[in-house]
């Protein structure tokens, strides 16, 4: 027999027993969609050895600050209490919004979008000037501040990656180019430079695969990708 799912609302603290432990979750926000589904944004506490109460929850400690869960998943759970969601408890949800829905993040946190973008651009410009002066470590710090303000600022991500390359930090650069491509999948410079980093790291098979993909992905740069594909293949074959 199917158990009916518990309908949840922000502030609900719910629990479910599994074996000798109780799983405990607090609902931070609930997003409803036109198709009738809902997502519950949840904070998870450490498991409790006994059934939790409204007062004992505070002693459990937080295990996961944020996880989005289908709201219809709570069959067999029971509501313990409803408690105001605090600013501290929302930290994980806010960080999630910052990386997945920047417009909502700005609105939810009551910030001025133009002011945030202006500050990010100021850090970007300072970083560029520092890079021009050869002060690469300081430039990286400025690019990082720009990215912290606007996580999808792929120009800053790319420039930080190029600065890492200048310092020979190819693994860090590779991570940034991959992050940039998540934001801007059609970024030629990030895609090509990802292959170059793999080449420098001795990952010749992976580098060759990137350059080969670039032949069709960026046909206008076919000559460049073919040249580096051959270089990667030669290194892979030890010649």
Find out whether 65 and 86 touch, Cβ atoms under 8 Å.
no
The pLDDT confidence band at residue 239, using thresholds 50, 70 and 90, is low
The Cβ-side half-sphere exposure at 168, using a 13 Å CA radius, reads: 0
| Helical pair 222-236 and 204-217, crossing angle rounded to 10 deg | 160
Q: What is the pLDDT of residues 16-38, one digit of tens each?
A: 999 999 999 999 999 999 999 99
Q: What is the pLDDT of residues 124-173, one digit of tens each?
A: 999 999 999 999 999 999 999 999 999 999 999 999 999 999 999 999 99
Check pLDDT > 60 for residue 215: yes
CATH architecture assigned to 113-236: Alpha Horseshoe (1.25)
> Could you tell me whether strands 78-82 and 21-32 are parallel, antiparallel, or unpaired per DSSP bridges?
unpaired
Six-digit token string for 125: 């410009």
Check pLDDT > 60 for residue 107: yes
Average pLDDT score over the chain? 95
Alpha-carbon span 22 to 41, nearest angstrom: 19
Alpha-carbon span 90 to 212, nearest angstrom: 44
> Could you tell me whether strands 21-32 and 38-45 are parallel, antiparallel, or unpaired per DSSP bridges?
antiparallel
DSSP H or E stretch at residue 128: helix 113-132
Q: Where are the alpha helices (DSSP H) in 133-169?
A: 136-149, 154-166
Find out whether 44 and 25 touch, Cβ atoms under 8 Å.
yes
Q: What is the model's pLDDT at position 1?
A: 40
Break the chain into its structural domains and give their ranges: 12-109, 113-236
Q: What is the model's pLDDT at position 203?
A: 97
The reported pTM is 0.87
Distance of CA 134 to the CA centre of its chain: 30
For residue 78, the SS3 value is strand
Phi-psi category of residue 123: left, alpha or beta, with phi > 0 → left and psi -120 to 50 → alpha: alpha
CB atoms within 10 A of CB 19: 6
């Amino acid at each position: 027999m199917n158990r009916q799912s518990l309908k949840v609302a922000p502030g609900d603290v719910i629990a479910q027993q599994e074996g000798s432990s109780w799983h405990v979750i607090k609902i931070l926000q609930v997003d409803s969609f036109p198709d009738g589904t809902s997502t519950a944004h949840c904070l998870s506490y450490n498991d409790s050895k006994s059934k939790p109460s409204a007062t004992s929850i505070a002693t459990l400690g937080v295990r996961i600050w944020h996880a989005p869960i289908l709201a219809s998943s709570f069959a067999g759970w029971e509501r313990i209490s409803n408690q105001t969601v605090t600013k501290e408890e929302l930290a994980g949800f806010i960080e999630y919004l910052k990386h997945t829905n920047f417009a909502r993040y700005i609105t939810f946190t009551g910030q001025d979008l133009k002011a945030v973008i202006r500050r990010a651009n100021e850090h970007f410009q300072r970083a560029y000037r520092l890079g021009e002066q050869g002060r690469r470590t300081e430039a990286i710090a400025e690019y990082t501040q720009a990215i912290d303000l606007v996580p999808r600022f792929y120009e800053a991500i790319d420039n930080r990656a190029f600065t890492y390359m200048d310092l020979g930090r190819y693994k860090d650069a590779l991570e940034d180019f991959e992050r940039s491509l998540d934001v801007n999948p059609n970024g030629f410079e990030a895609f090509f430079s990802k292959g170059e980093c793999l080449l420098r790291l001795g990952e010749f098979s992976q580098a060759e695969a990137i350059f080969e993909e670039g032949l069709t992905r960026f046909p206008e740069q076919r000559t460049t990708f073919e040249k580096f594909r051959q270089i990667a293949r030669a290194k892979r074959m030890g010649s």
